[in-house]
Structure 1
Amino acid sequence: MADNDKITELANRIYALDEKVYKATGSNLGRVYQGNKEKCINDLRDLLKSSADSSVLRSELALISNMARTTKKNPQLHKEIMHEYGEIFDEAMAMQEAREGNDIIDPEHAELNMSNLANRFGKDDNLIICIGRSYGCAGTDIGFKLADKLRISYYDVSIMNEILQRNEEHEETDRALFQNKTARTPAQWWRDFRKYHGLSRSDVQFFNTSKKLVDLAKQEPYVIMGRYADNILTKNHIPHISIFITAPKKLRIQRTYHTSKEKLTYKQAAKYVSKEDKAHLKRYAFYTGKKWGEADNYDLTINSSTYGIDGSVDLIMRIVAKNQLDN
């Protein structure tokens, strides 16, 4: 079998396994590969061809695996699915390892030119701007002002959690679940794990957030802060602009020190900023397979200490206007 045929065959098997696991669990959390089947298959083919994206493929297979492991109530089906998963995983990893170091250029990155953003959006696509940011860089202020200037909806963790809470009956807040701010006892963790098809509530939150962001993108333009939105929308083939905002750590610590409601000491502020950075790195890598804050993963990165809040908003507005996306 020709190499391209093997890649296509394996991509179809991965897609079919995801569908099979989804149907077997009876879960309403959604599938890993959503949207148009042909596009999903093409995306999988691209991942299988590139050794650079091995971590992304591993993360996606891990999500399928996590869901598959919840089929233990049907031993025969569970054995069948896990055997199939094992074969697919081994073949996929072997295929990528064989290509180690062969890539010269990433075609997708080569096409990410800010002056050509208009070509990314169809006439029926809403303008979606995803903003990631490091703690203390004023990214939230920038995102809020940007949405206001564009006159489009704005979503951050608080707003998104409030929306999701209306559809869920949780004893703990979604913020605690998503960002692990509230400690849980082993008994509470196990109860939550069993409640949602064996998935942790953090994974459930990720699926629920993913579905909501995709649904919203079909209804309206918006600015979304964090929530792995750039990766979620990319996987669902929804056009968007991805931006990362940061600033020198010293300045971020100073801003946290001066603006914290808790009246932190400078030392406490420094510790808190470092803790937030590490947490973001860990969670982003887990759910996306990518490195949080790395310029290669975004259309635009901004040092807010250079432009300030209003200057950063104006910079983004100029890019949007240049591409005639503000109509």
Structure 2
Amino acid sequence: MEFYDEKIKALAIEIYELDAEVYKKLGSSLGRVFGGEKDICIRNIMEDLHSRQNSSRIRSELALISNMARTIPDHDTRHDIMVRYNNIVEEIAELPTGFADGDILDPKIADLNTVNLKDRFKTGDHLIICIGRSCGCGGNEIGFALADKLRMNFYDVSVMNEVFRQKDGEEAAQATATFQKKERMGIKKRIKAFKKYHGLSSEDVLFFDTSKFLVEKAKQEDFIVMGRFADAILTNNHIPHISIFITAPEKRRIQRFLEINKNVTPNQAKKWIESEDKRHLKTYKFYTGRKWSKASNYDICINSASYGIKGSIELIIRMLQLDDRVKQLIE
């Protein structure tokens, strides 16, 4: 147990120092995930590493660090940092609490395998993979690991919310600097800035911010995005992408939910999964006009119980390599 605790502490320090190194190399506040007091940050990281239930938070924090690290201009520096990052991810994955790594595989139905992908990317287009998933199917773990495998940036709701928070902070700082310099702003621009998203709910604001974010990113980089109506947003903006939906039988999803959340009863797990499915159905329909999880809305639907987490990743990669243009993008 003592050895395990020491390993957790060493990993927490490595994660904190890697974040600090990325920040140092970029010289931007957007490169800093752990901006608080060092000892407190390390303690918080250790607590998350100790808890399988909190593995999603560590995953999102590491995704933020790696996303920023990939923007470091110097190739050698970027390579060295990404090697350190990959080593950290591998070490965490070996922990009993690492990345909720209990699998979703059901051997009884693991022989299903059929994929198809049409050529849709033109020269200059970025590879964008949109992944929708049902609660408890291992979708987030699949998306995160796939992003690392393809060396692409990863965005889930936690990562995007942090990007928005940091961006709002920078915009506020810029506004303050503008005021201090007494630069003049026209009355129309003042009114527009004041009324931004006026009267909309926080969910609506998040949807519009997400739409703007995804359209901008699609012009700049390859990436994987989890949920957030990304497939519909990109379709409406005529942006090429690949849409994937991942799910598993409810019984297996409940089992996995219980494996990760030790203090939850089977009945509570069932109610939680059912309520999450209903929430996704409702919000997806409201913002997109589509039916969430309907097979015809996606390029491929994966039953993760058929393939498991690693097998699902391999399946997606094989699907991508069927298309010559996509193959060039990921090689």
- Given that residues 116 and 300 in structure 2 are in contact (C-alpha distance below 8 angstroms), is that contact kept between their aligned partners in structure 1? no
Aligned position for 1:223? 224
- Given that residues 258 and 265 in structure 2 are in contact (C-alpha distance below 8 angstroms), is that contact kept between their aligned partners in structure 1? yes
Spell out the pairing of 1:195-206 with structure 2 (5 A cutoff): 196-206=197-207
Map Cα deviations across residues 292-322 of structure 1 (whole Å, 9 max, x no partner): 0000110100000000001100000001112
- The count of corresponding residues between Structure 1 and Structure 2 is 189
Name the TM-score, length of structure 1 as normaliser: 0.56
* 2: CA distance, partners of 1:196 / 1:225: 24
* 1: CA distance, partners of 2:248 / 2:214: 27
* 2: CA distance, partners of 1:271 / 1:296: 27
Q: How has the CA–CA distance of structure 1 residues 277 and 122 changed in structure 2, closer, same or farther, with 3 Å as cutoff? A: same
* 2: CA distance, partners of 1:317 / 1:195: 41
* 1: CA distance, partners of 2:139 / 2:319: 17
Aligned position for 2:157? 157
Aligned position for 1:242? 243
What stretches of structure 1 of length at least 5 have no aligned partner? 1-112, 170-193
Name the TM-score, length of structure 2 as normaliser: 0.55
Aligned position for 1:310? 310
Aligned position for 1:168? 168
* 2: CA distance, partners of 1:244 / 1:320: 15
Aligned position for 1:148? 148
* 2: CA distance, partners of 1:116 / 1:304: 19
Spell out the pairing of 1:1-327 with structure 2 (5 A cutoff): 115-117=116-118, 119-168=119-168, 196-260=197-261, 263-324=263-324, 325=326, 326-327=330-331
Aligned position for 1:191? none
SS at match of 1:168: helix
* 2: CA distance, partners of 1:126 / 1:300: 19
* 1: CA distance, partners of 2:156 / 2:308: 20
Map Cα deviations across residues 151-170 of structure 1 (whole Å, 9 max, x no partner): 1111111101100112337x
Aligned position for 2:13? none
- Given that residues 120 and 240 in structure 2 are in contact (C-alpha distance below 8 angstroms), is that contact kept between their aligned partners in structure 1? yes
SS at match of 1:238: coil
* 1: CA distance, partners of 2:280 / 2:165: 23
Q: How has the CA–CA distance of structure 1 residues 116 and 195 changed in structure 2, closer, same or farther, with 3 Å as cutoff? A: closer
Instruction: Please give the root-mean-square deviation of Cα atoms over the aligned residues, in Å.
Output: 1.7
SS at match of 1:125: coil
Percent of pairs with identical residues: 57
- Given that residues 115 and 323 in structure 1 are in contact (C-alpha distance below 8 angstroms), is that contact kept between their aligned partners in structure 2? no
